[in-house]
Chains A and B, each alone.
Chain A
């Protein structure tokens, strides 16, 4: 059984640029959640996708957007990057409403 995978592992962007992060769900899971983890903090919920629609959103601005595809994989897009967007971005998959299993994360650095 393949776990949750994320790509890329690391990337560096400059302020104002746009970035797309990718996540592949664990087999049998139909829901993907995204979290942002700043250094020294616990992960903060960004949003969740279920059946290709947003199923809940945390306190993040609209420049954070996402997609879920028919194979349940997902993308997180961030526009107009700011320095404070530097963080570890985590993707978690699950059956809707049940325990979430996390990928290894993408480390984003905004310069």
Chain B
């Protein structure tokens, strides 16, 4: 699986958009970008994933650059409850033969009042 690079920490004001970048310059054509977050001492929570098109769900939006070498997770209106470590992971999505998520250290997002 391709390696990812994320900033160690970021701050965001409550109510503003939080934009979390991720670099994955060695991503392969069949690798997806996944985002998870982990609130202190809880299990990681799946947020969103995508291949090359931008994706949006009820939690966030994922913007992937045209060359797929980087992506941005956007939380449109951050709340204090969004304070967490955010992990960007790339992996191949295919049934049966892919099995693991490779977590880095992620980005600690702190939402301030």
Contacts and interface: CB of A to CB of B under 8 A. Distances in A.
B99 A33 contact: yes
A9 to B, nearest CB: 11
B41 A100 contact: no
Interface string A41-79: 111110010100001101000000000000000000000
Interface string A86-106: 001010100111111111110
A43 B96 contact: no
Contacts of A42: 87, 103-106
Interface of B: 34, 41-46, 49, 87, 93-106
Given A33-B100, A45-B100, A90 B46 contact: no
Chain A interface size, under 10 / 10 to 19 / 20 to 34 / 35 or more: 20 to 34
Contact of B42 (A31, A50, A96, A104): A104
Contacts of B42: 104-105
Interface of A: 4, 31, 33, 35, 41-45, 48, 50, 55-56, 58, 88, 90, 92, 95-105, 107
A41 B43 CA distance: 13
A97 B41 contact: no
A97 B34 contact: no
